[in-house]
Structure 1
Amino acid sequence: MTPEEYADELERELQARNDRARYIVREEHGEHHLMRRNGAGQAWGITRYINPETAALAAAVLNRLKEDEA
């Protein structure tokens, strides 16, 4: 495997990991739920916030950490 092929394979793996799951925020009943959504569109709650800005910040941080980890 050449260095270019290896770099391409790493990039594909990075994209696959980032496409799988995302952290999102949904508003329900006046609360803002931080949820993890998988590639199939299924989502489950992690925690809830009263302040929408805090929920959005938490989702952004978790998504960024996930991207850096990949």
Structure 2
Amino acid sequence: MTPDEYAAALDAERSARNDRARYVVCEEHGAHALMRRNGSGQAWGVARHVSQETAELAAAFLNRLKEDEA
């Protein structure tokens, strides 16, 4: 495997990992829920926030952190 092929394989693996799950904000019961949604569309709650801005900031932070780990 050449260095370019290896770099391309690593990039493909990182992209696949990042595409698997995302943090999203959904409104439910008067609060904004921070949820983790996997590639098949299943989601589960992580936290609840009163303001939508706080929930969106948390989702953006966690998505960026996840990308950096990959």
Residue equivalent to 2:69: 69
Tell me the TM-score normalised to structure 1 length: 0.98
Query: Counterpart in 2 of 1:28?
Result: 28
What amino acid is aligned across from residue 64 of structure 2 in structure 1? R
**CA separation in 2, counterparts of 1:64 and 1:4?**
26
Partner of 1:45: 45
Q: Distance in 2 between matches of 1:47 and 1:32?
A: 9
Q: Which runs of 5+ in 1 are unaligned?
A: none
Write the letter of the residue equivalent to 1:31: A
- 1:46 & 1:14 partners in 2: Cα distance? 23
5 Å matches for 1:55-66?
A: 55-66=55-66
What is the aligned-residue identity percentage?
Answer: 71
**After TM superposition, which residue ranges in structure 1, 4 or more long, deviate above 3 angstroms?**
none
Equivalents in 1 of 2:29, 2:69: separation in Å? 33
Distance across 2 between alignment mates of 1:39 and 1:27: 20
Determine the structure 2 residue equivalent to 1:13. 13
Q: Name structure 2 gaps, 5 residues minimum.
A: none
